[in-house]
Every structure is written in C-alpha cells, then in structure tokens.
Amino acid sequence: MIRRAPRGLAEHAPILFPALMLVVFFVIPFSLMIAVSVFRRVPGGFYEPDLVFANYERFLTAFFGGVMSFSLGLAALVAALSVGIAFPFTYRLVKLPRRAQIRWLVFLLSILSLSEVIIGFAWSTLLSRTAGITNLFVALGLMAEPQSLSPSFGALLAGLVYQAFPYTVLVLYPALARLDPYLEEAARTLGSSPLRAFFTVVVPALRNTIVATTIMVFVFALGSYLLPQLLGRPQHWTLSVLITDQAIYQSNMPFAAAMAVFLVLVSLALVGLALLAGRREETA
C-alpha cells in the first residue's frame, strides 16, 4: 500500500475521472447558474449578460422571506419526523430474522421506485372526499360524513414523510445493524427500562448517524417541488415551487437562478451549522 501522498500525473490518474465528472456535471452548471443569476432579464425575451443584483434584491421582501422560512421549516419538520419514525422502526427491523428483514427492505425499495407524481396523486386520492379514507371512517361509524383532507399542510407533510421514509431507513440501516446488540441489554442489567435504555444508550451511541441522516432528509425535502403543488395550498408552496414557476412559466431565468443560488447557500450554511454543533458536542 502506498502511504505517501501521490505525486505526478500518473499517480493522480485514478481521481481524474471523478474529478472530470464533478466539473462537467456540477461545477460548470452551478457556475452558469451563478452567472445567470446576475444577468438582466429582457421582458418578453430571455436574458442578456450583465452584472445586476436586482434579482437578489427582489426576494429581500417579506413575501420571499416568508416562503424561505416556510421551506426551511417544512424541510426541518419532514427531516425530524422521518428520522423520528424511521429510527425506532429500523431499530426493530435489524432485530428481526434475516428473511423478514430482506422482505421489509425489498418493500421499502419498491416505494423508492415510485415517482413523486404517483406518490402525490395516490395521497391526494387517499385523502380526497369522494374516494378517500374518510369514507372508510364513515363506514366504521367514526365520522358523520366524508371529508376532503387534501390539499392541506397535513397532507403535504404526510406525502413528504412517506417519500423520505425509505431513504431514511436505508441510510440508518447499516449503522443500526452494526450496533452491538448487547449495549441495550447491558443498559437493562444496569437498571434502565427498555425504553430508557433506548434513549440513554442506543440513540446517543448513534448520534453522528442520526445527525447525518437528518441533514440528508432535510436537503432532500428542501428540493421537493411537486408534492407541495399536489398536496398543499398555495401558501404551502416552497421556494423550489417558486423557482420552477419562475424558470418555466414566467421565463425569468435570472430570478430563478438567483433563488436557486440562495437556496443552495442557505442549505449549505444550515448543514454546516448542524455539523459544527455536532462536533462541538462531541468534544465537550
């Protein structure tokens, strides 16, 4: 094994391909987007090169501030709920016999294969007044008459958590499967009830995994632009929806680009903060 740092072009060769991919598919498009974000829009046309910050100034208003904080809050809530549900679920899952585990994982993977559109329409049908779940509640005598539960914030939240849940389980699975099963038993012999052992030993022992997974789901939810339109009301539209709207329907590429850049920067900053907080706790 080579332990010294690689020297010369030949030894750097293995990283050339990924580096090239990163440049072609990430650095160049992102740079183009930053460039477009300071271009000037030509009304009725497209845009022309310039260096104006009007696009950025435009969302320093209460409206965009509101949309931004709603988007971030929604993503944070989805991340918290997904991890909050998926963590205990995965903890139980890894204790099942191997065959049962594989069945569950295949089932979750099959949810992953569903497109966002299908998930969105399925949930809106499920929560609709005419064909939805409330009809079942009426039949069971739990409700007086069927109601429409969608579009609403609850419907949007349910759809997003449903979509994020399989990812969350699959990311948590390896860490939980590797966790020494005797940790929980040791906590129990030392006087913790099973629930207390879970919160004082299992959760803290996997804190880094939980932080990393939460960040992943947060970023994932932040990018969602279809479900808010299918399951939410206009006041539940996220910044991603507005970006899509500006870019596709209003043909305002510079403004859409500026919002996208802003969204990326804000989410990077939040991720950085979360990681920093994690590290500080670790050294404390």
Nearest to another protein of 186, 268 (CB atom): 186
Nearest to another protein of 26, 199 (CB atom): 199
Nearest to another protein of 58, 188 (CB atom): 188
Give me the least distance between CB of 214 and another protein, in Å please.
17
Nearest to another protein of 6, 204 (CB atom): 204
Give me the least distance between CB of 86 and another protein, in Å please.
20
Cα separation, 238 vs 222, in Å, equals: 8
How far CA 230 is from CA of 55, 124, 128, 220, 224, in Å, comes to 28, 7, 12, 17, 11
Give me the least distance between CB of 181 and another protein, in Å please.
9
> Contact, 170 vs 108, CB < 8 A?
yes
Give me the least distance between CB of 184 and another protein, in Å please.
9
Give me the least distance between CB of 196 and another protein, in Å please.
7
Nearest to another protein of 29, 204 (CB atom): 204
Query: What residues numbered 174-233 form the site for another protein, per CB under 8 A?
Result: 180, 182-183, 185-194, 196-197, 200-201, 204-205, 207
Give me the least distance between CB of 101 and another protein, in Å please.
19
Nearest to another protein of 117, 190 (CB atom): 190
**What is the dihedral sign for C-alpha 176, 179, 180, 186?**
negative
Residues in the interface with another protein (CB under 8 A) total: 20
Give me the least distance between CB of 193 and another protein, in Å please.
5
Nearest Cα neighbor of 223 from 160, 142, 139 is 160
> Contact, 56 vs 262, CB < 8 A?
yes
Nearest to another protein of 92, 196 (CB atom): 196
Binding residues for another protein (CB under 8 A): 180, 182-183, 185-194, 196-197, 200-201, 204-205, 207
